[in-house]
Amino acid sequence: MSKLKNCWVWMVAAWLLPACAPSPKPRPVPSTRVRAERVGQRAVARLRSALMRRVLAAVRSAGVAAATEACAGDAQRITARVNRELGPGVTVKRTGLRVRNPKNEPDAAERGALQRLALALKQGAMPAHLLGREARPTGAVYRFYVPIRALGLCVKCHGPAATIAPAVRAVLQKRYPGDRATGYGVGDLRGMFSVTIRESALR
């Protein structure tokens, strides 16, 4: 009888212990800055992927000159489409200190970020991204920046003028008579992706 009683005690204890055990701690909610970084990274990845797909498809089908023409005609349209997909409160663009399309001119904050990135590259300590916060009359925003380094394909239309193929130069002269986005070598800082995120969109 004693053995049976002990058995019941252990069975009841085994049944009660899980209920008495402390509940797992709730996972911490990411900070607003962390959420802003995640939103910024997704926005950059989406625009970078969309633009690269368009350029690579044009290069493969008709060459670099055709890709330059396609980029001139489609880059702004692709950017606008990506911004619609991102939803309200988030916008992404490309910019640089020497732009090809005047629509990509940097604002004061972007120019400061580009100068910081250029200095970091010169010092051999290029960050993966920059994140800042601005107070505005309409509400605070986060500014998320990702550097764009020149790749081998990039310098075919962004390299030194003397190295750009005549057919590509002809497209650039027709599309961008005020073009300033040449003279880059592989690895140079060509510009950056800039994402503006309303803080209210992170709640």
DSSP string, 43-111: HHHHHHHHHHHHHHHHHHHH-HHHHHHHHHHHHHHHHHHHHHHH-TTEEEEEE-SS-SSGGG---HHHH
Q: Taking 60 as the threshold, does the pLDDT of residue 3 lie above it?
A: no
Helix and strand element counts for the chain (H, E):
6, 4
Cβ neighbors of 156 (< 8 A, separation 6 or more) are 64, 164, 165, 168
Residue 14: pLDDT band (50, 70, 90) is very low
Domain boundaries, the chain: 31-202
Task: Tell me the pLDDT tens digit for each residue of 34-75.
Answer: 999 999 999 999 999 999 999 999 899 989 998 898 888 899
Give Cα 141 to chain centroid, integer Å: 16
What is the structure's pLDDT at 13? 46
CA distance 64 to 58: 7
> What pTM was computed for the model?
0.84
Task: Tell me the pLDDT tens digit for each residue of 18-42.
Answer: 445 555 565 655 799 999 999 999 9
What is the structure's pLDDT at 29? 55
SS3 assignment, position 5: helix
Q: Taking 60 as the threshold, does the pLDDT of residue 9 lie above it?
A: no
Task: Tell me the pLDDT tens digit for each residue of 149-195.
Answer: 999 989 999 999 999 999 999 999 999 999 999 999 999 999 999 99
Handedness of CA 97, 102, 107, 113 (dihedral sign): negative
Task: Tell me the pLDDT tens digit for each residue of 112-148.
Answer: 999 999 999 999 999 999 999 999 999 999 999 999 9
State both tokens at 60: 């493969």
CA distance 179 to 165: 16
Task: Tell me the pLDDT tens digit for each residue of 77-112.
Answer: 999 999 999 999 999 999 999 999 999 999 999 999
Task: Using CB atoms within 10 Å of the CB of residue 61, give its burial: 0 to 12 exposed, 13 to 18 middle, 19+ buried.
Answer: exposed
Q: Which residues pair with 194 in a beta bridge?
A: 93, 145
